[in-house]
Chains A and B, each alone.
Chain A
Amino acid sequence: VTTPAARFIGQSVQRVEDDRVLTGRGRYVQDIELRGLAHAVFVRSPLASGRVMGVDADHARSLPGVIAVLTARDLEDCASPMQIGVELPGYLRPAFTALASDRVRYVGDPVALVLATTRYAAEDGRDAVDVEYEPSEPVATIEQALDDDNTPIFDDVESNVHYREEREFGDVATAFAGARVVRRTLRPQRVAQVPMEGRGGVADYDVGTGQLTYWASNQAPHSLRLNLAMLLGHPADRLRVIAPDMGGAFGQKTATFREDVAVCAASKLLGRPVKWVEDRVENMTSATHARDEEMEVRAAVDDDGTIVALDVGMTLDQGAYPLVPFPSPLFGWLVRTMIPAAYKLQALRWRYTVVATNKASYGAYRGPWAVETLVRELLVDEIARELGLDPVEVRRRNLLMADEQPTSMVTGPTIEGVTSRETLDRAVELIDYEAFREEQFRAHEVGRLLGIGFSTYIEAAPGPPDYAEAIGFPIGGERAHAKLEPDGRLTVLTAQAPHGQGHETTIAQVAASEFGVPLDHVRVVHGDTDLAPFSTIGTGGSRAATMASGAALHATRAVKAKVLNLASELLEIAPDDLEMADAMVTPKGVPAKAMSLQEIAAAAYFTPTASEEHDLRSSALYAGPRGGWSGGTHACIVEVDPGTGAVAILRYLVVEDCGPLINPAIVDGQIRGGVAQGIGLALYEHAAYDQDANFIAGTFMHYLVPTAMEIPAIEIEHLHGEELDEVPFKGVGEGGTIAAPAAVLNAVADAVGGATVTVLPLSPERVLDLMDSMSTR
Chain B
Amino acid sequence: MIDIVLTINGVERSGTVEPRRTLGDFLRDDLGLTGTHLGCEHGVCGSCTVLVDGASARSCLMLAVQAEGAEVTTIEGLAGNDGLHPLQQAFRETHGFQCGFCTPGFLMTALELLRDNPQPSEHEIREAISGNLCRCTGYESIVRGISLAAERAR
Contacts and interface: CB of A to CB of B under 8 A. Distances in A.
A174 interface: no
Interface stretch (A23-31, A41-49, A285-293): A23-31
A327 B38 CA distance: 33
A699 B101 contact: no
Contacts of B28: 30-31
Interface string A192-205: 00111100000000
B148 to A, nearest CB: 13
Contact of B104 (A15, A24, A502, A675): A24
Interface string B84-95: 100010011111
A27 B76 CA distance: 14
B137 interface: yes
Contacts of A672: 137-141
A12 B75 contact: no
Contacts of B138: 669, 672-676, 711, 714
Interface stretch (A165-173, A313-321, A336-344, A702-710): A702-710
Interface residues of B, number: 60
- A-side interface size class: 35 or more
A713 interface: yes
B59 interface: no
B9 to A, nearest CB: 11
Contact of B95 (A12, A705, A708, A709): A12
Tell which of B21, B45, B95 has the most Cβ of chain A within 10 Å. B95
Q: Which of B74, B93, B137 has its CB near the most chain A CB atoms (within 10 A)?
A: B137
Interface string B74-117: 11101100001000100111111111111110010000000000
Interface string A4-38: 00000000101101101111111110110100000
A248 B135 contact: yes
Nearest to A663: B95
Contacts of B12: none
Contact of B21 (A18, A120, A250, A701): A120
A499 interface: yes
A278 to B, nearest CB: 10
Contact of B100 (A500, A676, A708): A500
A49 B149 CA distance: 53
B55 interface: no
Contacts of A713: 140, 143
A672 B141 CA distance: 9
A24 B101 contact: no
B140 A248 contact: no
A22 B93 contact: no
A691 B132 CA distance: 32
B57 interface: no
Contact of B88 (A23, A26, A246, A700): A23
B130 A196 contact: no
Nearest to A249: B99
A240 to B, nearest CB: 23
A708 B129 contact: yes
A668 B96 CA distance: 11
A396 interface: no
A666 interface: yes
Residue among A246, A250, A669 with max Cβ neighbours from chain B (10 Å): A669
A22 B99 contact: no
Contacts of B20: 120
A279 interface: yes
A544 B72 CA distance: 41
B120 to A, nearest CB: 12
B133 interface: yes
B153 interface: no
B60 to A, nearest CB: 10
A15 B99 contact: no
A669 B98 contact: yes
A21 B133 contact: no
A758 interface: no
A28 B36 CA distance: 11
A280 interface: yes
Contacts of B74: 24
A23 B95 contact: no
Nearest to A15: B95
B99 A23 contact: no
Interface string A180-219: 0000000000000011110000000000000000000000
B102 A196 contact: yes
Contacts of A501: 98
Interface in A452-499: 499
B18 A120 contact: yes
Contact of A707 (B25, B37, B100, B130): B130
A196 B142 CA distance: 16
B39 interface: yes
B42 A701 contact: yes
A21 B38 contact: no
A245 interface: yes
A280 B42 contact: yes
Contacts of A246: 99
A28 B139 contact: no
B136 A23 contact: no
Contacts of A358: none
B32 to A, nearest CB: 8
A575 B42 CA distance: 63
Given A22-B107, A24-B75, A700-B45, A705 B18 contact: no
Given A665-B95, A711-B139, A26 B100 contact: yes
Contacts of A120: 18, 20-21, 25
Contact of A196 (B33, B131, B133): B133
A499 B99 contact: yes
Nearest to A499: B99
Interface string B33-68: 111111111101101000000000000000000000
Nearest to B105: A196
B134 interface: yes
A630 interface: no
B135 A705 contact: yes
A247 interface: yes
Given A23-B75, A23-B79, A196-B39, A500 B34 contact: no
15 contacts: A15-B92, A21-B99, A22-B88, A22-B97, A24-B33, A24-B36, A30-B34, A30-B37, A502-B98, A673-B136, A676-B139, A700-B40, A700-B133, A705-B133, A709-B127
Interface of B: 18, 20-21, 25, 28-29, 32-42, 44-45, 47, 74-76, 78-79, 84, 88, 91-104, 107, 125-127, 129-143
User: Which A-B residue pairs are the 9 nearest by beta carbons?
Assistant: A24-B35, A247-B101, A21-B100, A500-B99, A24-B75, A672-B138, A500-B98, A676-B138, A700-B44
Given A120-B21, A672-B140, A708-B125, 13 more contacts: A18-B91, A21-B97, A22-B100, A24-B75, A196-B133, A672-B138, A677-B135, A701-B42, A707-B129, A707-B130, A709-B130, A711-B139, A714-B138
